[in-house]
Amino acid sequence: MLVLVLSVVVLLLVGGCVCVFWAARGDAPRWARGVARATLLGSELSRSASRSPRSQQSSGDD
């Protein structure tokens, strides 16, 4: 069951990356541009979550 869930997550990530590439080329349909926007938004959210105040405090110890 876990393998199935992880496989679906990986397929969604790969599909999102393909839509980002397709939208960057400029000839993607509207739905693919929407998926690309959602993928980029998710990327920005995960990037900002990794910059938590905890990680900033630990970097100032040197």
pLDDT means over runs of 10, the chain (62 residues): 95 95 94 95 90 61 54
- Give me the residue label for tokens 């739905």: 31
Residue-number span of the structural domain to which 33 is assigned: 16-41
CA distance 23 to 38: 12
Distance of alpha carbon 6 from alpha carbon 59, whole angstroms: 32
Enumerate residues 6+ apart whose C-beta is below 8 A from 18.
none
Report how many domains make up the chain.
1
Given this model, what pLDDT does residue 55 score? 53
Domain membership flag for residue 32: yes
The separation between the first and the last C-alpha atoms of the chain, rounded to the nearest angstrom, is 45
- Structure tokens of 13? 């990530």
The pLDDT score that the predictor gives to residue 50 is: 83
Give me the pLDDT at residue 57, please: 56
From the CB of residue 36, how many other CB atoms can be counted at a distance below 10 Å? 20
